[in-house]
Structure 1
Amino acid sequence: MKLTKFAHACVTLEKEGAKITLDPGTLTPGAKDAVHGSAAVLITHEHFDHFDDALLAEALDADRELRVFGPRSVVEKLGDRDGRVQAVAAGDTVHIGAFSVSVHGDRHAPIHADVPCVDNVGYLVDGTVFHPGDAYLVPEAPVDTLLLPTSGPWTTLGGAVEHVRAVQPRQVVQIHELMLSELGQNATRTFLAGLTGIEEVVPAPGESIEL
């Protein structure tokens, strides 16, 4: 399986001629390229940095085979498009080409009492790669590659360490990094490695790695 990192929370996964895209939001300059040619797009939650509804509406109009999965709020914003946009929740499993995706969790991590807490789901792809969205979700299944958010109003270094320890992945790949400078990203990488024993992989936008 090939993982390609795009800016912020967006990644694509490819295998056996199929591609899926996770969380193409408005802070991802290459989101349109990420979505193009995808069999499906998986959205963890409705926040703009994870979900560009205008982009996906255009993509759904252009590609009648494209499917979109996400919390109920995603369907409310896009419409069900003859069943091509589907709501998912914890416990669901969806099949996209050769991919099998299980859904975990239900709520965004708290930011502040004055900020509404929206629905947020995580996706475990092929029992291998886990994208938690904006929460330190721990799936009830082994994880090989954890996509770890490293910046944002809800993240903490201590929380990230405990998240990695709880999930116990073989490797950690940084996502959700735009609020950290290069120095901050490297400092976070060093901190996590020192406390978890797992070296964080920090791909540049557009870089691919084999899983």
Structure 2
Amino acid sequence: MNITHFGHACVLVEIPNAGTSTRILFDPGTYSQGFEDLTDLDLILITHAHPDHLDAPRLAALMAANPAAELIVGEGTLAALDDPDFPEHMRKPAHVVRPRQKLTVLGHDIVVTGGEHACIHSALPTSENVGYLVDDVVFHPGDAFDEIGVAVDVLLLPIGGPWMKIGEGIDYLRSIAPRVVVPIHQAGLAPAHQNMHCQLLKNLAPETTEVLVLDPAVAHSL
């Protein structure tokens, strides 16, 4: 499996499948860079409609360049796609999913987790967030730390945001104890704090977990 981090929440995962690879892109949002020229995408998964996870104009261009790619979104994301300037297969995604749903797409088993964005403040309305567990191999939780109750090989772990503190991320990492954890969702942190949070993960991760900090837009083989 190859994995490429395009900054913040956007990650490309290439999973071997029947002699080829399925190219799965998570959350191409406003804080991410370098995904715009990707081709031969098979799946695009959106956890929720916040702009740092869904940059609608760039997603539209990406889907125009990848007409065969299947878009998977939660029900709460549909309103963000309701724009006549967007291609029809973006406004009418191939799959509109709900929490706890299980589906098989292109030979891959996807479990939809979560349902609600982590609380930023009680005075703000709640919003939808779903996570995606693909083949019990790679898990992108979006903006929430929902317990999933299964083993995960690769965890894409948020390390910064107005809805979390790093101690919560560390506890979540310990509860899942994956083979590999890739820090994501870091664009709102100053570089010094990004480094500090990643070092805390390395110091406090389970002994069996590798903390893998990826260089931007560079593919890494796992």
Per the normalisation by structure 1, the TM-score is 0.90
| Structure 2 CA distance for partners of 1:63 and 1:194, relative to 1, 3 Å | closer
Unaligned runs of 5+ in 2: 83-87
Q: How far apart in 2 are the matches of 1:33 and 1:93?
A: 30
Deviates more, 1:140-149 or 1:91-100: 91-100
Please tell me whether the aligned partners of residues 160 and 166 of structure 2 are also in contact (alpha carbons under 8 angstroms). Answer: no
Whether 1:21 and 2:25 are equivalent positions in the alignment is yes
Number of aligned residue pairs: 210
CA deviations on 1:164-205 (whole Å, 9 max, x unpaired) are 121121221110111223322221122223223344211011
CA deviations on 1:89-111 (whole Å, 9 max, x unpaired) are 12222333343221111111100
CA deviations on 1:98-138 (whole Å, 9 max, x unpaired) are 43221111111100123322110111111111100011122
* Deviating 4+ runs (over 3 angstroms): 58-64, 79-85
Whether 1:50 and 2:53 are equivalent positions in the alignment is yes
Q: Which amino acid aligns with 1:190?
A: Q
Please tell me whether the aligned partners of residues 179 and 210 of structure 2 are also in contact (alpha carbons under 8 angstroms). Answer: no
Q: Determine helix, strand or coil for the equivalent of 1:48.
A: coil
Please tell me whether the aligned partners of residues 123 and 131 of structure 1 are also in contact (alpha carbons under 8 angstroms). Answer: yes
Whether 1:88 and 2:92 are equivalent positions in the alignment is no
- Paired residues for 1:45-194 under 5 Å: 45-79=48-82, 81=89, 84-194=93-203
The alpha carbon displacement at 1:51 in A equals 0.6
Please tell me whether the aligned partners of residues 108 and 134 of structure 1 are also in contact (alpha carbons under 8 angstroms). Answer: yes
Unaligned runs of 5+ in 1: none
Backbone CA RMSD of aligned residues: 2.0
The alpha carbon displacement at 1:26 in A equals 1.3
The alpha carbon displacement at 1:62 in A equals 4.6
Q: Which amino acid aligns with 2:36?
A: K
Q: Which amino acid aligns with 1:148?
A: L
Q: How far apart in 1 are the matches of 2:219 and 2:146?
A: 24
**Once the two structures are aligned, what percentage of the paired residues are identical?**
36
| Structure 2 CA distance for partners of 1:48 and 1:83, relative to 1, 3 Å | closer
Q: How far apart in 2 are the matches of 1:65 and 1:193?
A: 39
Q: Which amino acid aligns with 1:196?
A: A
Please tell me whether the aligned partners of residues 39 and 96 of structure 1 are also in contact (alpha carbons under 8 angstroms). Answer: no
The alpha carbon displacement at 1:48 in A equals 0.1
The alpha carbon displacement at 1:22 in A equals 0.3
